[in-house]
Chain A
Amino acid sequence: MRSLKKVEQQSARESIQDPGMGGVGRSKKHESADKHVSGEAVYIDDRPELRGQLHAAVGQSQFARARIKSMDLSAVKAAEGVKAVITVKDVPGHVDIGPVFPGDPVLALDEVEYLGQPLFAVAATSHDLARKAALLAKVEYEELEPVLTVKEALAKQHFVRPPFTMQRGDSAAAIDSAPHVLSGEISVGGQEHFYLEGQVSTAEPTEDGGMTIFSSSQHPSEVQKLVAEVLDVPLNKITVDTRRMGGGFGGKETQAAPWACIAALLANKCQLPVKMKLSRSDDMCLTGKRHPFENNYQVGFDDSGRIQGIDITVNGNCGYSPDLSDAIVDRAMFHSDNAYYLDNATVTGNRCKTNTVSHTAYRGFGGPQGMMTIEMVMDDIARHLGKDPLEIRKINLYGHGERNITHYHQTVEHNNLDKLIDSLEQSSDYQARRKQISEFNKENTILKKGIALTPVKFGISFTVQHLNQAGALVHIYTDGTIHLNHGGTEMGQGLFTKVAQIVAEEFQVDVDTIGVSATRTDKVPNTSPTAASSGTDLNGKAAQNAAITLKKRLVDFAAEHFNVKEEQVVFADNQVHIGAEVGKKTMAFAELIQLAYMNRVSLSSTGYYKTPKIHFDRETAKGRPFFYYANGAAVSEVLIDTLTGEYKLLRADILHDVGKSLNPSIDIGQIEGAFIQGMGWLTTEELMWNDKGRLLSNNPATYKIPAISDAPVDFNVALLPDDPNKEHTVYNSKAVGEPPFMLGISVWSAIKDAVASVADYKVSPKLNTPATPEKVLWAVQDMQQAALDKSGD
């Protein structure tokens, strides 16, 4: 069961190199793979510099909350290489670049609301000169009392958006009448995105007063809109181009725009191209992160451990402005059930305002933080009743045809979680290993092992309805090659590869026939962010629709031209077969295209898609916000050291539901990467601010994302077989970007299982996240104390 042996690797390699037609369902390599490995893939910072190009940097607030009394920028302006310095007064148009709600001034107004907030921007002849100059400002502040914790914000009712509650049944009465009642609280840490490519944008003035922006952004249309607004020019003068990002993870959904706006403001002022690139530590201090949450619950359950009623409150630390926090805390609330039927439930979400950077989208979008509470509940109930947590998880799963209404009143359909969990329990040998672990823990005093199986049920769709639309543009050129463009952005997830496969499938041509191209606002307009795992669902369908339109034109043309029936025009193997069996004519795809062109058939089409069925009424907190659910489960086995709190993930087994996979290798890559990222969030990735609101973990020396040895030696990942999406998604596939992130919760739960062994599994350990070795050691010490207390009873 070790990682692939050489022989297996060789056969894996051969299957990968299968040269068959590039349609869906095949493990085609990433469209840029050859360019990635050769260093030829061009990221924004790799673009050749244009004549006169300048580099931007920002001056930063030194206080978490303060009034700016004066700002003397003379030394900045006089510094070597400086060509321009701007403040908010130099913004020709809108000052506020809040993506949904106002609250984000592009450069500080009179009051600053977080430490690091940009006060002014500098353009200089080099990146380093700009950064050095930005340090020379003399700023006088009147320090104001900051709010730095969720607790304080709750006490002061200091919110970026109003609280919101979802309710089904009468949770208070159900808890009151339940045989068992437990309550608890958990602090869930935030997470730095740590995309390897930091935030970067280049702005180039155009001849008609506009800008061409190259931005590492998940949301080019929003960058376009905000740049237009700060410059006070119409949208049609701004073009945004995003070929690829060096990672996004949600961190470039709204957080890419400020730097594009600042580059554009300086470029406009200087009438020269300007590049704005954040150094790693600036990126970590100046851009939003996954929201830290402080959640609590009270649950009532029966003797079997089945929940009868529950109250959950989730409190998101939103930072200083709304950004996307309304929807993020909503998603935490939507996922407070994870995979479990809560029966009578009240879920309340607070959006706490604190004086830190504004927290933002991050893979899972609040969902993971919401799920942590209910997974804690499962462990707590199990310890209370002296049962295996897996038994409690299984007994609480959503049912089929009954016990299937969520706390937001969506019916859970096509539920495959019980089947999936049973299958994983078998394949991972859970029960036998549970026994072995008990034996190990009896024999070992210092090292302890733990195991946990946790499921994921993740709702797919933007919960903001209008975002669930997409456009695509497909051209066929006269040599038969195809140009593909759509509104989705490529951040490594393989979107461009999958959408190219979908178009290749329609025409039955090799995927190499499809040329993918940079996402551009002048090709496909008014696009949604590539987020919410929706990239392929939305853009794949839009591109498929464009291809279907073109194909219909070609079929209609061929039928008429060759005087055959439409169904007698068949695309296969890079060719087109025309006519009945007898006297069938076969021509190369390119040949048909030539013929169509000569006969004046339009060979370009747009395509459009909007997700059906979804609706949600926020007034009543009822509806169907999700088109479908993507499911999965993971079993993690860990080893902990009870003297130091150190730990290691020894083995992970994952079974995940991607419907009918468009590209199994890409899907498995998404699952493995998401799992490890989720594990990092809950273990070693510790954000730490001091009591002045300064981020202390502001570089990779102090903020530790998983490294290669953190990947388990035994890492078995499989796709749930033979279970296509019952909803009509593109080729019945399911979204995969975010759902497997939450499989990382199994690592946290397994650590708790190991800790619980110290008190013979009779007490549920409290383990806030990230569960650093320090926190694990304290949890172990609590258990040792609990064991003493028990034996003293």
Chain B
Amino acid sequence: MTDNTIRFLLNDELIMLENIDPNLTVLQYLRDIRFQSGTKEGCASGDCGACTVVLVELAGEEFNELNYKSANACILFVGSLHGKQLITVEHLKEGEALHPVQQAIVDFHGSQCGFCTPGFVMSSFALHKAVSSPDRAQVVEALAGNLCRCTGYRSIIDAAMASSADAAPDSFARHYHQTVAELKKIHLQSEAQLSASGHHFYSPTNIDQLADYLLAHPNATLLGGGTDLALSVTQQLNTIDKLVYLGNVKELNGLRETEESIIVGSAVPYSLFTPLLHQQYPELGEMIERIGSTQIRNNGTLGGNIGNASPIGDMPPALIALGATMTLRCGNSTREMPVEDYFKGYKVTDLAESEFIQDITIPKAKAGQECKVYKISKRIDDDISAVLAAISIEIEQDSVKSVSIAYGGMAAIPQRAAACEAALKGQPWTQTSIDAAKQALTQDFQPMSDVRASDKYRMTVAQNLLQKCFLELQNRHVETRVVNYA
């Protein structure tokens, strides 16, 4: 019997939600139903971080640990709170005493208008739960999804670096075991659902439940992190009839390693699978750290980034270049396919009715293989790419043994550069070959102009990135990237 209730902890209070429209976001829930207005709405699209809250999940092999992660409440559906603890800015103070991350912002004059401040406080709080004395780079990464229009950030960075780990354990640390126990109790309740106003939310806990549900409800909408899907509700003002949440499906949340591959469950968020990929492909790891923001990467999933088939998703070109494959499941049957074959046209995929992405298999790096990844955007952090290039190449005895090149932002789908590859494969690794490959790109792509870049810029940069790849592999000591320059 499926429980018709969403259960979570709001700080230390057990909340049982019933009869609430599952299209409601956590931000709306907090502000309009709980009358907790400390969490702000700046954009309702996950871009500014003013609504940042912290979600606490059970983690570790025995589920005896807690993982604190920041999230944008504005694009989080209430149903996804099931089994988690939700901490908001109102919960940090103890009596009259500010939490150390709050006090540091006061001491360093890190607030001016104050509207973004609760979001910075919560991102900083999540960071300090993970890293006791963060360095500047860690602070910048953790706060990249929080926009401040007043301060210029210096004071906020100094505050986040200063809020010390030496401080006495906060209330969350003191109640750690109690929180673990409370969350475990909720998890014993298995599946959950929420219905109101003719709209449904269903959170299965295993893959068979999910597969059966999708057979029975082929029109249900899959919900991973919701970092893209929620915008259809908050920005386009749509209403989703049936949401099926993947975050509690055990089999989709696994991360495995074999001799040859890394296998990522489709519902695993970026922040959990990135370290493994980073080990294999450092440039890919660095690129992922620029996808969205920490809040987005804590919630957005690999399956979601592939599944919504955006021409500007950053993972698909990299997965295509690396020859990743994916397993799709429908009912009891599964099928495998290269990620490359999944994309059929603008936002059109090979996914059949009632089918879902189970996992993605990414081959590990081979000796001699180079993986070069370039993300070009107006702003370094939290910006959608104008062009993304992923190049997997093996050079043996100064000639190109194998090459696989895929681009994002250059066509209606993430796509391989077939003519470009052909111009390189088996050819000597020289400027002449690169020039031919650059020329061949014009056969592969006719990019478009939009708000991010012109067609001409996209093509020029796509070509220049081949040049950059060549120069970098020719001389590994020369500085070639603005992003990494320190």
A9-B90 CB under 8 A given contacts A16-B107, A38-B102, A247-B149: no
Let me know if B41 is at the binding interface, CB within 8 A: yes
Let me know if B143 is at the binding interface, CB within 8 A: yes
Bitwise, A698-728 to B at CB < 8 A (1) or not (0) is 0111101111111101010100000000000
Contacting residues, chain B, for A688 (C-beta < 8 A): 451
A711-B152 CB under 8 A given contacts A38-B102, A705-B147: yes
Distance in Å from the Cβ of A539 to the closest Cβ of chain B? 18
Q: Which of B41, B47, B148, B453 contacts A701 (CB 8 A)?
A: B47
A669-B102 CB under 8 A given contacts A48-B35, A697-B451: no
User: Which residue, A641, A643, A665, A668, has most C-beta atoms of chain B within 10 A?
Assistant: A643
> Are A639 and B485 interface neighbours, CB within 8 A?
yes
Contacting residues, chain A, for B41 (C-beta < 8 A): 45
Contacting residues, chain B, for A39 (C-beta < 8 A): 36-39, 88-90, 118, 121
Please report the C-alpha to C-alpha distance between residue A249 and residue B468 in the assembled complex, in whole angstroms.
41
Q: Which of B93, B102, B140, B482 contacts A641 (CB 8 A)?
A: B482
> Are B162 and A9 interface neighbours, CB within 8 A?
yes
Please report the C-alpha to C-alpha distance between residue A707 and residue B151 in the assembled complex, in whole angstroms.
11
* Chain B positions 439-461 with a Cβ under 8 Å from a chain A Cβ: 450-454, 457, 460-461
> Are A37 and B468 interface neighbours, CB within 8 A?
no
Please report the C-alpha to C-alpha distance between residue A697 and residue B383 in the assembled complex, in whole angstroms.
13
> Are A38 and B98 interface neighbours, CB within 8 A?
yes
* Chain B positions 287-315 with a Cβ under 8 Å from a chain A Cβ: none
A245-B152 CB under 8 A given contacts A37-B121, A39-B118: no
Please report the C-alpha to C-alpha distance between residue A492 and residue B111 in the assembled complex, in whole angstroms.
8
User: Which residue, B143, B383, B471, has most C-beta atoms of chain A within 10 A?
Assistant: B383
Contacting residues, chain B, for A666 (C-beta < 8 A): 109
Please report the C-alpha to C-alpha distance between residue A34 and residue B150 in the assembled complex, in whole angstroms.
17
> Are A708 and B451 interface neighbours, CB within 8 A?
no
Distance in Å from the Cβ of A141 to the closest Cβ of chain B? 22
> Are A669 and B237 interface neighbours, CB within 8 A?
no
Distance in Å from the Cβ of A609 to the closest Cβ of chain B? 25
Contacting residues, chain A, for B471 (C-beta < 8 A): 445-446
> Are B482 and A647 interface neighbours, CB within 8 A?
yes
Let me know if B179 is at the binding interface, CB within 8 A: no
> Are B113 and A196 interface neighbours, CB within 8 A?
yes
Please report the C-alpha to C-alpha distance between residue A193 and residue B115 in the assembled complex, in whole angstroms.
14
Distance in Å from the Cβ of B40 to the closest Cβ of chain A? 7
> Are B451 and A673 interface neighbours, CB within 8 A?
no
Q: Which of B38, B40, B154, B480 contacts A38 (CB 8 A)?
A: B38
Nearest CB to that of A132 among chain B residues?
B237
Q: Which of A245, A669, A708 contacts B146 (CB 8 A)?
A: A708
Contacting residues, chain A, for B450 (C-beta < 8 A): 696
Contacting residues, chain B, for A13 (C-beta < 8 A): 107-108, 162
A675-B47 CB under 8 A given contacts A34-B106, A640-B482: no
Contacting residues, chain B, for A697 (C-beta < 8 A): 451
A648-B158 CB under 8 A given contacts A43-B40, A697-B451, A708-B140: no
Contacting residues, chain A, for B331 (C-beta < 8 A): none
> Are A194 and B109 interface neighbours, CB within 8 A?
no
Distance in Å from the Cβ of A456 to the closest Cβ of chain B? 16
> Are B483 and A246 interface neighbours, CB within 8 A?
no
Nearest CB to that of A195 among chain B residues?
B149
Let me know if A10 is at the binding interface, CB within 8 A: yes
Nearest CB to that of A778 among chain B residues?
B457
* Chain A positions 189-208 with a Cβ under 8 Å from a chain B Cβ: 193-198
> Are A648 and B482 interface neighbours, CB within 8 A?
yes
Contacting residues, chain B, for A3 (C-beta < 8 A): 136, 154, 157-158, 161
Please report the C-alpha to C-alpha distance between residue A231 and residue B379 in the assembled complex, in whole angstroms.
45
Distance in Å from the Cβ of A252 to the closest Cβ of chain B? 11
> Are B109 and A30 interface neighbours, CB within 8 A?
yes
Q: Which of A4, A33, A708 contacts B381 (CB 8 A)?
A: A708
Bitwise, B92-133 to A at CB < 8 A (1) or not (0) is 110000100011011111011111111001000000000000
Let me know if B13 is at the binding interface, CB within 8 A: no
> Are B451 and A702 interface neighbours, CB within 8 A?
yes
> Are A777 and B461 interface neighbours, CB within 8 A?
yes
Please report the C-alpha to C-alpha distance between residue A648 and residue B377 in the assembled complex, in whole angstroms.
12
> Are B379 and A40 interface neighbours, CB within 8 A?
no
Q: How many A-B residue pairs have CB under 8 A?
A: 282
Q: Which of A36, A249, A669 contacts B117 (CB 8 A)?
A: A36
Nearest CB to that of A284 among chain B residues?
B43
Distance in Å from the Cβ of B377 to the closest Cβ of chain A? 8
Let me know if A32 is at the binding interface, CB within 8 A: yes
Nearest CB to that of B141 among chain A residues?
A709
> Are B109 and A773 interface neighbours, CB within 8 A?
no
Distance in Å from the Cβ of B37 to the closest Cβ of chain A? 4
Contacting residues, chain B, for A248 (C-beta < 8 A): 113
A447-B479 CB under 8 A given contacts A709-B140, A774-B453: yes
Let me know if A41 is at the binding interface, CB within 8 A: yes
> Are A196 and B115 interface neighbours, CB within 8 A?
yes
> Are B161 and A6 interface neighbours, CB within 8 A?
yes
Please report the C-alpha to C-alpha distance between residue A317 and residue B352 in the assembled complex, in whole angstroms.
51
Q: Which of B144, B148, B378, B465 contacts A704 (CB 8 A)?
A: B378
Let me know if A17 is at the binding interface, CB within 8 A: yes
Please report the C-alpha to C-alpha distance between residue A684 and residue B103 in the assembled complex, in whole angstroms.
32
User: Which residue, B103, B235, B452, has most C-beta atoms of chain A within 10 A?
Assistant: B452
Q: Which of B31, B149, B376 contacts A646 (CB 8 A)?
A: B376
> Are A36 and B108 interface neighbours, CB within 8 A?
no
> Are A699 and B109 interface neighbours, CB within 8 A?
no
Contacting residues, chain A, for B149 (C-beta < 8 A): 193-196, 247, 249, 673, 677, 705
Contacting residues, chain A, for B465 (C-beta < 8 A): 643-644
Distance in Å from the Cβ of A678 to the closest Cβ of chain B? 10
Q: Which of A29, A43, A639, A644 contacts B106 (CB 8 A)?
A: A29
Please report the C-alpha to C-alpha distance between residue A27 and residue B108 in the assembled complex, in whole angstroms.
10
Nearest CB to that of A41 among chain B residues?
B114
Contacting residues, chain A, for B161 (C-beta < 8 A): 3-4, 6, 9
* Chain B positions 142-191 with a Cβ under 8 Å from a chain A Cβ: 143-144, 146-158, 161-162
Let me know if B367 is at the binding interface, CB within 8 A: no
* Chain B positions 49-67 with a Cβ under 8 Å from a chain A Cβ: 50
> Are B42 and A280 interface neighbours, CB within 8 A?
yes
> Are A246 and B115 interface neighbours, CB within 8 A?
yes
Contacting residues, chain A, for B461 (C-beta < 8 A): 643-645, 777
Nearest CB to that of B121 among chain A residues?
A37
A37-B106 CB under 8 A given contacts A699-B47, A700-B48: yes
A36-B111 CB under 8 A given contacts A13-B162, A247-B150: yes
12 more contacts with CB within 8 A, not counting A494-B112, A711-B153, A713-B486, are A30-B109, A37-B117, A41-B114, A196-B115, A196-B116, A446-B468, A666-B109, A669-B150, A673-B112, A686-B378, A709-B144, A774-B453
9 A-B pairs closest in CB distance: A39-B38, A492-B113, A246-B115, A36-B114, A672-B152, A700-B47, A492-B112, A676-B152, A46-B37
What are 26 A-B pairs with beta-carbon distances under 8 A?
A3-B158, A16-B109, A30-B114, A33-B111, A37-B106, A38-B102, A45-B37, A196-B40, A244-B114, A247-B149, A447-B480, A447-B485, A639-B485, A641-B481, A643-B461, A669-B152, A686-B378, A699-B235, A700-B43, A702-B451, A702-B452, A704-B383, A707-B379, A708-B144, A709-B140, A709-B380
